[in-house]
Every structure is written in C-alpha cells, then in structure tokens.
C-alpha cells in the first residue's frame, strides 16, 4: 500500500515535470521574431523589386487580426499568464502598409501584428495581381520572413 502511494506520487511528479517542460518548449521555441521597426523596411525591400511602392502606412486595430492557430493559442496563454501576474504582456498593436504599382488596380496591403518591439504575425491582402507575379511575391516574402507563416488573403471587389 505504501509503495503504491509513493509510486503514484513519483509518477504524478514526473508527469508534471514533463508537462511543464513541454509547455515551456511550446511557449518559447519560436523566438526568432523580426523587430517591429524593421517591418516596413523589409516589406519595401521585397515589394520594390516588383514595382510596388508604399502609399500609406498607419497603425491599425488588432481586434480582427489573423494569426496562425499555434501563435494565436500562445498569445491567449500569454494574456492569461499576464492577468495573474506570471508574465509580462507588452502593448499589442497593428501596422498596415498599403502598396500599389503604376497600375493602380494592383494592390498589396501588408498587415503586421506587433507585441511590444516584436512582429508576431503577418497578413498580406492582395488584389488584381497576375498569378505569376503573385507566386513570385509569395516566394520572396516568405524568404524575407522565413520565421513566419504569412496569411495571404485575396481581396475581391464589393
């Protein structure tokens, strides 16, 4: 009876340690973020080679942000840990850069979701871009932001 109790306690303790290590790994393994202040420069460097230029940059609300599922879960966990004072949670904000070409029908709308000094997610909306150009843009953006799963959204005329 006593050996079984000790074995159960040790097993529970080991499972707890493994779970905590797994949780720590899940929350910290992708810490290769781009700095928020570099986001616009990185966008411009890719877009310039395709004839796009920035016509407007501004801050936007993060209420309707689109993030990969894993990153969204991590953000929710970080917010919760912050509420119970176990983790600091920086200011969350969005950055938006609107790009066009000489053909004003072509449009790229690059949204960066930022947490403090770090870019945590990217969504790029596009409209009226030839499929070959779009493929090359996607390849180049994904090389430039190789630590991110970029969400690509096709805009349609309303």
pLDDT at 27: 63
Q: What are phi and psi of 7, to 5 degrees?
A: -60, -45
Whether 1 has a pLDDT exceeding 80, the answer reads no
Query: Residue range 46-50: average pLDDT?
Result: 88
Q: Over range 129-148, report the average pLDDT.
A: 91
**pLDDT tens digits, residue range 50-64?**
889 888 888 888 777
Query: What does the chain come to in residues?
Result: 158
Q: What angle do CA 138, 139, 144 make, to 5 degrees?
A: 95
Pick the closest to residue 55 from 104, 123, 89 (CA basis). Answer: 104
Confidence of residue 31 (pLDDT cuts 50, 70, 90): low
Q: Please list the residues that pair with 121 across neighbouring strands.
A: 113
Spell out the residues 6+ positions from residue 3 whose beta carbon is closer than 8 angstroms to its own. none
Q: Is the pLDDT score of 80 beyond 90?
A: no
């Amino acid at each position: 009876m006593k050996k079984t109790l000790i074995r159960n306690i040790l097993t529970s303790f080991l499972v707890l340690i493994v779970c905590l290590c797994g949780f720590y790994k899940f929350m910290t393994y992708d810490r290769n973020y781009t700095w928020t202040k570099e986001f616009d420069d990185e966008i411009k460097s890719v877009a310039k080679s395709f004839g796009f230029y920035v016509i407007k940059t501004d801050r936007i609300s993060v209420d309707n942000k689109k993030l990969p599922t894993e990153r969204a879960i991590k953000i929710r966990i970080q917010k919760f840990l912050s509420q119970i004072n176990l983790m600091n949670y920086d200011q969350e904000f969005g950055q938006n850069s609107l790009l066009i070409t000489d053909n004003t029908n072509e449009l790229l709308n690059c949204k960066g979701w930022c947490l403090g000094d770090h870019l945590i997610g990217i969504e790029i909306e596009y409209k009226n871009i030839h499929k070959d150009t779009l493929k090359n843009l996607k390849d180049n953006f994904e090389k430039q932001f190789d630590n991110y799963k970029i969400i690509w959204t096709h805009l349609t005329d309303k």
